[in-house]
Amino acid sequence: MKRPPRALLVFTSVWFIAAAALCTRLAFAWNQQAKIPHVALATVPFDQETGNIALALSEGHGYANLFRKDTGPTAWLAPVYPCLLFLIFRSFGALTFSSFVAAVILNALFSAAATFPLYALARRLAGLPVAAATAWAWVFFPAGVLMPFEWIWDTSLSVLLPVTILSATLRLAESANLALWTAYGLLWALALLSNPNLGIGLPFLFAWLIFRRGARKQARKSAAIAVAMTTLCCLPWTVRNYRTFHRFMPIRSSLPFELWIGNNDIFDEHAVRGIQRITRFEETRRYAQLGENAYLDEKWHLATSFIKHNPSLFVRLTGRRILATWCGTEHPIADFKRTDSLLAQTILVLNFLIIFGTGAGILLLVARKHPLAVPLVVFPILYPAIYYITHTSLRYRHPIDPLLLLLTVYSAACLFRVISGRFAEPISPS
């Protein structure tokens, strides 16, 4: 057999593609930091909940002070990323430009590292050409390039976790090694303690693994060990929350606030009650006045009351949020015509392509009864659901973007085979 050209071997190498992904992210960061005063970059990116908790930890106040005021302990966010940021503060100083650079590099590493499991998934699904095309699409995907710099948050870490979990899931489908199953449980614990919303896929992937392995006793035992490991790792944080707030709070507490942000009288054009714009100052003052428990109880009551008394409006708002989750805006066509930004227009076009590509990819997998259909569609279908009823942005969808690219490239590969008259031949992994 003739050996492939050396250039082809290089450009389809996952290590080369991952290095390119890291370079694009760091190049963007370098370009942006040169345009912004370093004194601003030392403070402004950390002026949010994650940075405030990390600052409190670095000052010896514990996991507390959500709004950079002495408001006491919090369970608003899952602990992994704020603790990583705390370690950066300990090493490079709190609220310094050096800490910002370190955080951006860490985010870029998380985002670029997603190339490895994404490549493995794509190759397993449809072979080397689709794997390389998907990975290269991730290299230049705008959100993937921008997010490590724009958001000092768990966003980039949350990109790495779902593709890693799926890659591990497919490997475990063929393995009874208890060490691997234990590591799988640890991986799920890391995901839940980083971004609890990822937990929506846990029961489905475990059920698929047991079904795939024939529901044998060994499979059930292995799955039980993995679930036990996940539970044991999450338990200390849950116990901490219960002892601190005297209520069951498995990972994070902020759902009532998130629900209220998207469902309140501000969005009712015909509300007769006084409407005031949500401001950070007012909400910080109210949070400090009531404390976290009472503040969230109030938001839960307000949000559920709004939904109960405005069901049709809630349905309309949910529809708008679904559109915004996938298109990036509630008015994609009007915004495309209105904007003069080439980047914004490119992102809108890419979102339309991803919507159609993801939908087509899911339909193809299901229609062909592909053995990997269930694990590959779990996160794209289920993960955004919580944002449909709360509030949304492209940043919230970003953790599943690599999987959306995979489904889009897969559907494009199938279309190419139709055009070339080879659709009857299955796309095989290699």
Concatenate the DSSP letters of all residues of 192-225 into one string.
Answer: HHH-GGGGGGHHHHHHHHHHHTTT-HHHHHHHHH
pLDDT of residue 221: 86
pTM score = 0.92
Asked if residue 179 is part of any domain, the answer here is yes
Instruction: Indicate whether 243 and 139 sit together in one domain.
Output: no
How far apart are alpha carbons 227 and 187 in whole angstroms?
11
The whole-number pLDDT of residue 271 equals 47
Domain contains 335? no
pLDDT at 327: 92
* 130 and 197 co-located in one domain: no
Q: 3-state DSSP call for residue 301?
A: helix
Q: 13 and 42 share a domain?
A: yes
**59, part of any domain:** yes
pLDDT for 347 equals 87
**Which helix (H) or strand (E) segment is 352 a member of?**
helix 342-367
Residue 134's CB: how many other CB atoms inside 10 A? 28
The reported pLDDT for the residue numbered 278 is 67
List the single range of 21-35, 38-52, 206-220, 330-344 with lowest mean pLDDT.
Answer: 206-220
Both 8 and 64 in one domain: the answer is yes
**15 and 146 share one domain:** yes
Q: Quick check: 383 and 201 in contact, CB under 8 A?
A: yes
Express each pLDDT in 80-102 by its tens digit. 999 999 999 999 999 999 999 99
Domain that holds residue 50: 1-152
Provide the pLDDT for residue 217.
Answer: 74
Tell me the pLDDT band of 275, cut-offs 50, 70 and 90. very low
**Residue 200 above 70 pLDDT?**
yes
Kindly state whether residues 22 and 116 are assigned to the same domain.
Answer: yes
Would you call 73 helix, strand, or coil by DSSP?
A: strand
Whose CA is closest to 105, among 158, 148, 67? 148
Last residue in a domain, options 197, 224, 250: 250
Which pLDDT score, from 0 to 100, does residue 69 have? 87
3 state SS of 64: strand
8 Å CB contact between 129 and 416: no
Mean pLDDT of all residues in 160-188: 94
At 355, phi and psi to the nearest 5?
-60, -50
Total of domains in the chain: 2
Q: Quickly state the pLDDT bin for 383 (edges 50, 70, 90).
A: very high
Which is more confident, 216 or 385? 385
Element (H, E) at 365: helix 342-367
pLDDT band at 207 (very low <50, low <70, confident <90, very high): very high
Same domain flag for 185 and 77? no
Q: Specify the range with the lowest mean pLDDT, choosing from 64-78, 141-155, 353-367, 413-427.
A: 413-427
- For residues 174 and 145, state if they share a domain: no
Q: In b/e form, how buried is each residue of 251-260, taking b as 16+ CB within 10 angstroms?
A: bbbbbbbbbb
53 and 145 fall within a common domain:
yes
Whether 320 is covered by a domain: the verdict is no
Task: Please give the structure tokens belonging to residue 314.
Answer: 């809630």
Amino acid in the structure at residue 39: V
Exposure string for 161-190, b = 16+ CB within 10 A, e = fewer? bbbbbbbbbbebbeeeeeeebeebbebbbb
Q: Are 32 and 115 in contact (CB under 8 A)?
A: no
Which of the residue ranges 43-57, 151-165, 210-224 would you say has the lowest mean pLDDT? 210-224
Domain assignment of residue 142, yes or no: yes
Same domain as 173, residue 95: no
